[in-house]
Amino acid sequence: MHGRSDVAGLVEHLNDRGFIHQISDPGLERMLEQQRTACYAGFDPSDSSLHLGHLIPIIGLMHFQRYGHRPIAVIGGATGMIGDPSGRDRERTLMSIDLIRSHERSIQRQLEHFLNFDDTETGAIMVNNYDWTHPYSYLDFLREIGKHFSVNTMISKESVRMRLESRDQGISYTEFSYQILQAFDFHHLWKTNGCKVQIGGSDQWGNITAGIDLNRRLGGEQLYGITFPLLMTASGRKFGKSEGNAVWLDPIRTKPYELFQYFIQTDDKDVIRFLKLFTFLDLKEIAELEILVRDEPQTREAQKILASEVTRLIHGEAGLQTADGSTRILFGDEPICNYTDSILNRVFSDTPSGNLPKEHLEQDLTVVNAMVASGMCGSKGEARRLVSSGGFYINNIRETDPTRILTVNDLASDTIMVLRSGKKRYFIIRFSG
Counting contacts by CB under 7 A, is residue 143 touching RNA? no
**401 touches RNA (CB under 7 A):** no
Q: Output 55 or 387, the one with its CB closest to RNA.
A: 387
Residue 303 lies near RNA (rule: CB under 7 A): yes
Q: Name the residue nearer to RNA (CB basis): 229 or 391.
A: 391
Minimum distance of RNA from residue 224's CB (angstroms): 38
CB nearer to RNA: pick between 64 and 427: 427
SS3 103: helix
The reply to whether 421 sits near RNA by the rule CB under 7 A is: yes
Cβ-based neighbours of 20, under 8 Å, separated by 6 or more: 11, 14, 226, 227, 228, 229
Q: How would you write 138-149 as a 3-class SS string?
A: HHHHHHHCHHHC
Q: Which stretch binds RNA (CB under 7 A): 24-32, 95-103, 120-128, 383-391?
A: 383-391
Q: How far apart are the first and last CA of the chain?
A: 53
Q: Please pick, from the candidates 6, 119, 165, 168, the single residue that binds RNA as defined by CB under 7 A.
A: 168
Contact call for residue 380 and RNA (CB under 7 A): yes
267 touches RNA (CB under 7 A):
yes
424 lines the binding site for RNA (CB under 7 A): yes
Q: Which of 254, 264, 248, 423 is nearest to 330 (CA)?
A: 423
Neighbours of 38 (CB within 10 A): 23
CB of 264 to RNA, least distance (A): 5
Does residue 170 interact with RNA by CB under 7 A? no
Please state whether 335 falls in left (phi above 0), alpha (psi between -120 and 50) or beta: beta
Q: 212 or 386: whose CB is closer to RNA? A: 386
Binding segment toward RNA, per CB under 7 A, in 158-166, 214-222, 313-321, 415-423: 415-423
Cβ distance 222 to 289 under 8 Å? no
Does residue 396 interact with RNA by CB under 7 A?
no
| Residues 203-242, mask of contacts with RNA (x by CB under 7 A) | --------------------------------x-------
Task: List, edge to edge, every strand of the sheet that includes 125-128.
Answer: 22-23, 224-228, 195-201, 38-43, 70-75, 125-128
CB 111 within 8 A of CB 43: yes
Using a 10 angstrom Cβ sphere, with 0-12 exposed, 13-18 middle and 19 or more buried, the burial of residue 361 is buried
295 near 226, Cβ under 8 Å?
Answer: no
Give the residues lining the site for RNA (CB under 7 A). 168, 235, 243, 261, 264-265, 267-268, 297-298, 300, 303, 327, 331, 372, 378-382, 385-386, 389-391, 421-425
